[in-house]
Chains A and B, each alone.
Chain A
């Protein structure tokens, strides 16, 4: 549908490197007026970098960007917005206590002599909503809206700034089925009126419902441009993954899972979003069980529930040597007493005390071991922490250095070491290699295999499919609060995992 106006957006040979690491190669991309394109790819394929270049967050090393056949150069997201390109990120940026009207017109409230009137603002916001038949009460505060409604408000806000092209990053990641449909209906109206929509995702189910075209990125290159109507999920997955990489797949360690189950979970349920709808799983001694799911699948909840962070989960938990409980642990302390170690996903927020030294962080969970009658045995503390730091290869100048000064990978190793110091019987990890460099990632994966081999049952909760497949002995796939499949042996491939997680079938 080449319009008479030509392309709304065209990029020519866009490339970007970070240091020696090239993340985008010669991307040629076009988008017409009223067209919607889904850009999909695995983590690290270059999707976000591409979106950031389009919206002026970062600048490309090479290549050019044309809007309506006119070359443009953006120095900031503001620049991009002024030219009509709006970005709706995953984490929305709105003012929760202001009304919809105030948020829609944020920064450009109608005013006279610095005074603004509520009535005029409401009227103007209503006009903006009516342009696209959006039925939302502009007097409500943002806080009271559903997530999808907030996203729609953000879109209206972009449109109120005369956006001609809207880029959404994983818009439905945390939406319910019903909310997603609402969002897609609105987006449909936008394209009908000539607004372009680009839509960054690693989920495939959405693509079919919505976009005119699917572009697949892999390792920084656009490898395919497909019509959703003529593409099967399997084909799409093949494009996303390419030739599947040969991994150090758990050297064929097939464990008898139930024979020596360290952990058994039975019938875990939770209402609300994300929900759990009856989870049964077990982890055996020396076994690494992977739990893979996309955001909102509930996989995170299972891990956090084991760590005592969700009192609202119903269901049984049985631990070898600690009996069966009718309810998951109510507090992190109770989980620790049951010798469950939890490595949280957000290490800076939940895992480490950044201002304190490496030594203090390493001792965080073993005060009992390092003290007598409440007094720290400083010699033992020093020996233990030096020992842990050496064993987990924490690279530092001194153990008195603050954890804040370490690289992401080393911080992660400190966190892992501190949890394992307490000799847990079950290790629960959540996204253990998020935000660490490739070298540290390989090391951490090696540690995990080693730890499991020494008898520690391990549950690895991850949304990184490569990690899930490579590190686990047995891989459980979650979707919409259920375990929808179990993969082991030759069936345990990235393609199968992704297909199950996205709602397809094994290939």
Chain B
């Protein structure tokens, strides 16, 4: 029935199709950030002898993993037209919960699975609050941030909970060719999510919803269901980031990852996503995360105090987004 179509015009030569750009809609911005990243590498290589080495590269990769995992979830949320502030609470909650469950004697895989389920539950709550009750993502996830952060403090009684069984830290302990498991898991997640965003129906719908929620609904897309699933994925990824942190530290603490929301949103936006949705991708986010991680690493090697890193991060975000606006203005004229 779809083959007997309603031909209205003799089929002429179809419009030429160019090769698709790396990540949908990111195009020029992506190359801008890429160029900036290369400059950054050149700069730090000159200023510090230890920067451009294999071991330091691995170091950077390890250090960005936690932020990267959260930013992957945040990418889904932002591209679909929402965002999730509650990750600042779900990361520490994931960390504390993982250690407590593991200390209670559960095998590590079971503990990880339970933590992911907790995350999915939190995301489900976020999604239902946003789509059913109609509270804006800002307020809904801000409220959830407070609840989950408070839960993390309550469960840990406000102190760092040490891991009783160090075997639980397999994600950090085990390595392949000097690379920790968690880095490999992160890279796999990047690939899976990038493919899902580009080559699945789910990915197509995610971009459509982010680009125009009303039109998507009218086109018969289950807008609310997909949004809810995305909040679930985002929160589950955040709790998984918590598992990684506690594996790195052999302990769970309610204070780790408290800056996750702002940093992950910064990374996603730096990667060229639009805060109002419909534009962005894993490639851009990964670059955004790398830029932030590399600045932190390079500045640490230069012995610059950590506070300055925060200032630099903020400045770079504003400059990158400002340049994007500037380019859009030129393009409009």
Residues of A at the B interface (CB closer than 8 Å) are: 307, 309, 332-333, 335-337, 342, 344, 349-357, 360, 363-367, 369, 371, 374-376, 378, 382, 386-387, 389-394, 396-400, 402, 418, 420-423, 446-447, 450-451, 454, 456
* Complex interface: chain B residues within 8 A of A418 (CB): 219
Contact of A356 among B1, B14, B207, B217 (CB under 8 A): B207
| Extra inter-chain contacts (16) besides given A332-B219, A393-B9, A400-B18, CB under 8 Å | A332-B220, A349-B215, A356-B25, A376-B203, A376-B204, A382-B17, A387-B14, A390-B9, A394-B15, A398-B17, A399-B15, A400-B20, A421-B2, A422-B2, A450-B6, A454-B7
Q: In the complex, A356 Cα to B212 Cα: how many Å?
A: 9
Q: Are B6 and A451 in contact (CB under 8 A)?
A: yes
* Cα–Cα distance between A133 and B73 once the two chains are bound (Å): 61
14 sample A-B contacts, Cβ–Cβ < 8 Å, listed by A number: A332-B218, A332-B220, A333-B220, A333-B221, A349-B212, A355-B211, A355-B212, A367-B201, A376-B200, A393-B9, A398-B16, A400-B21, A422-B2, A451-B8
Q: Is the CB of B15 within 8 A of A397?
A: yes
List B contacts of A447 (CB < 8 A): 8
Contact B18 A398 (CB under 8 A): yes
Q: Is the pair A390, B220 in contact by a Cβ cutoff of 8 Å?
A: no
* Cβ contact within 8 Å between B8 and A450: yes
A365 engages B18 (CB within 8 Å): no
- The residue in A342, A353, A354, A450 that gathers the most chain B C-beta atoms within 10 A of its C-beta is A353
Q: Could you tell me if B200 and A307 are in contact, using CB atoms closer than 8 angstroms?
A: no
| Contacting residues of chain B (39-86) with chain A, CB-CB under 8 angstroms | none
A350 to B279, CA, bound (A): 19
A365 in contact with B208 (CB, 8 Å): no
Interface string of B136-168 (1 = CB under 8 A from A): 000000000000000000000000000000000
Question: Known contacts A375-B200, A390-B14, A399-B15; is A365 also within 8 Å of B220 by CB?
Answer: yes
Assuming the contacts A353-B278, A394-B15, A398-B15, asked whether A376 and B199 have C-beta atoms less than 8 A apart, the reply is yes
Q: Is B100 part of the binding interface, using a Cβ–Cβ cutoff of 8 Å?
A: no
**Contact residues of B: prevailing secondary structure:** loop
| 1-33 of chain B: CB within 8 A of chain A | 1-2, 4-9, 11-18, 20-21, 24-25
**Contact call A365/B6, Cβ cutoff below 8 A:** no
A336 to B279, CA, bound (A): 27
A454 pairs with B6, CB closer than 8 A? yes
Contact of B8 (CB < 8 Å), options: A335, A374, A446:
A446
Most buried by B among A356, A382, A402: A356
> Is B131 at the interface (CB under 8 A from chain A)?
no
Determine if A392 and B9 form an interchain contact, defined as CB atoms under 8 angstroms apart.
yes
B201 to chain A: which residues have CB within 8 Å? 367, 371, 374-376
Q: Which residue of A lies closest to B217 (CB)?
A: A332
In the bound complex, how far is the Cα of B201 from the Cα of A378, in angstroms? 11
Expressed in whole angstroms, the minimum distance between the Cβ of A447 and any Cβ of chain B is: 5
Say yes or no: A355 contacts B278, CB within 8 Å: yes
Contacts of A376 in B (CB 8 A): 199-201, 203-204
Task: Assess A364 versus B8: contact at CB under 8 Å? Given A349-B214, A376-B200.
Answer: no
CB-contact partner of B15 in A360, A390, A454, under 8 A: A390
User: Is B204 touching A360 in the complex (CB atoms < 8 A)?
Assistant: yes
**Which A residues are in CB contact (< 8 Å) with B212?**
349, 352-355
Q: How far is the CB of B45 from chain A (nearest CB, A)?
A: 36
Question: If A353-B207, A354-B211, A360-B207 touch, does A390 touch B199 (CB 8 Å cutoff)?
Answer: no
Q: CA of A423 to CA of B2 in the docked complex: distance in angstroms?
A: 6
Which residue on A lies nearest to B212, using beta carbons? A353
Q: Are B11 and A391 in contact (CB under 8 A)?
A: yes
**Among candidates B25, B199, B216, residue contacting A378 with C-beta atoms closer than 8 Å:** B199
> Which residues of chain A are within 8 angstroms of B1 by Cβ–Cβ distance?
423
Interface flag for B289 (CB, 8 Å): no
| CB <8 Å contact, B16 and A391 | no
- Are B208 and A391 closer than 8 Å at their CB atoms? no
User: With A355-B25, A356-B208, A391-B7 known to touch, is A397 a contact of B199 (CB < 8 Å)?
Assistant: no
What CA separation (Å) do A291 and B97 show in the bound complex? Answer: 61
Question: Do A367 and B215 contact each other (CB < 8 Å), given the known contacts A375-B199, A454-B6?
Answer: no
How close is A307's CB to chain B, nearest CB, in angstroms?
A: 7
Q: Are B207 and A391 in contact (CB under 8 A)?
A: no
**B25 cross-chain contacts in A, Cβ below 8 A:** 355-356, 402
Residue numbers in A under 8 Å from B274 (CB-CB): 355
Residue of A nearest to B2 (CB): A423
- Nearest-Cβ distance from residue A413 to partner chain B, whole angstroms: 10
Contact of A389 with B199 at beta-carbon distance under 8 Å, contacts A353-B215, A369-B2, A400-B20 already known? no
Within the complex, the shortest CB–CB distance from B28 to chain A, in Å, comes to: 13
CA distance A367 to B200 in the complex (A): 9
- Please, which residues of chain B bring their CB within 8 A of the CB of A398? 15-18
For A393, the chain B residues whose CB sits under 8 A away are 9
A356 touches B211 (CB 8 A): yes
Task: Using CB atoms, name the residue of chain A closest to B4.
Answer: A423
State how many angstroms separate the Cβ of A414 from the closest Cβ of chain B.
Answer: 12
Which residues from A are CB-within-8-Å of B199?
375-376, 378
Chain B residues with Cβ under 8 A from A367's Cβ? 201, 204-205
Residues 270 to 296 of chain B near chain A (Cβ within 8 Å): 274, 278-279
Q: Which chain A positions have C-beta within 8 A of B16? A: 397-398
Chain A, residue nearest B17 (CB): A399
At the interface, yes or no: B106 with Cβ under 8 Å from chain A?
no
